[in-house]
Amino acid sequence: MTKKEFTLGIHQNKSTEDNSFSHHWINYCEDKNINWIKVNCHSSTIYKDLKNCDALMWHHMHNHYLDEKIHSGLMMSLEASGKVVFPNFSSRWHFDNKIMQSYLFKSLEIQTPQTFVSFDMMESLNWSRKAKYPQVFKLRKGAGSANVNIVKNEKQARKIIIKSFSSGFSPFDSIGYLKRNFKKYQNNDIGFFKLIKATMRSFIGTEYARKSNKIKNEVLFQDYIPNDGFDIRIIVIDGKAFGIKRVVSEGDFRASGSDEIIYDHNEFPIGAVKEAFRISTLLDADCMAYDFVVNQDELYLLEINYGFNPMKYIDCEGYWDTNLIFNKAAFNPYGWMVDLVIKKLINEK
């Protein structure tokens, strides 16, 4: 069978269009004459709508309330019925969940900072008395360095622990959001109007934060790994890898979310690319972004995520293949995703 004999169902979130893969998938399908139809995974008719589709592609968002509420059950039920979905289970079950990722890293013996996870207040307080500081506190949810904070001493750790096991934390870090946008304004990365919008949003909050439960009765602390002033993100899709190097902003310890990006492929340690390929093979992941830091030539994996902001990868110089050879050429990672789904459908037939 050929790709023209299949029909792909593609979910589109208009409210997150700029950060979504969906319009890139649609453009690729149109360009390559691949059959597709628009579907709404939030609709009560989704199973009926997918009846004549061979696969579903859905870039569900970490900060979209309905996406988070629906995606896991819907995708798993479709896979149970034999339908091909993107991303596959191996790529998404730990999506935007740093606690689940910490379990995964330990089980696969991946080099990552020492991590303490607890669901017990007394155990956590006892740990805080013995811990070596600084530590990094992370909520299980949050992207782009949101909900990630440095903890300098036991007093700060105890305050966080007590809050977690009492009132809890909002999944939307309003203060951190405002600080990041104010810094962008100071660096002339955004204008005054966008700063005012960010200020209003930090006070009003988001629909996602208003409808989501607070995160409570759990803590995750991670040893602070001094990086070399940057982190490295490598994205692997179907045997091809590309990446960016994110420079730590002045006065911060986090590179994730930084707008200062290096694209020169010669700046990337090939060990990070090799490790990203190795883990993707272990996971059987359709698509995965790996966030590494380097300290004294040691490579540490911090987080993984199948989703990423398409706008930040437009200037990538090319991609590595599994032989670690760099191909300096324009590429379309969203087309790779579509082709991977088609390949699975052909193999099934």
Domain 3-94+336-348, CATH homologous superfamily name and number: Response regulator (3.40.50.2300)
pTM (2 decimals)?
Answer: 0.88
CATH topology agreement for domains 3-94+336-348 and 98-223 = no
Q: Is 135 helix (H, G, I), strand (E, B) or coil?
A: strand
Q: Is 110 helix (H, G, I), strand (E, B) or coil?
A: coil
Name the β-bridge partners of 8.
36, 55
Fold of 98-223: Dna Ligase; domain 1 (3.30.1490)
Q: Where are the domains of the chain?
A: 3-94+336-348, 98-223, 230-331
Residues for the chain: how many in total?
Answer: 349
Which CATH code fits 230-331? 3.30.470.20
Q: How far apart are CA 38 and CA 41, in angstroms?
A: 10
Mean pLDDT by 10 residues, the chain (349 residues): 80 72 95 96 95 95 85 95 96 95 96 97 98 95 72 97 93 64 65 68 60 87 86 96 85 58 93 97 97 91 94 94 96 97 90
Please give the angle made by the CA atoms of 294, 297 and 298, to the nearest 5 degrees. 65
Q: How far apart are CA 334 and CA 339, in angstroms?
A: 9
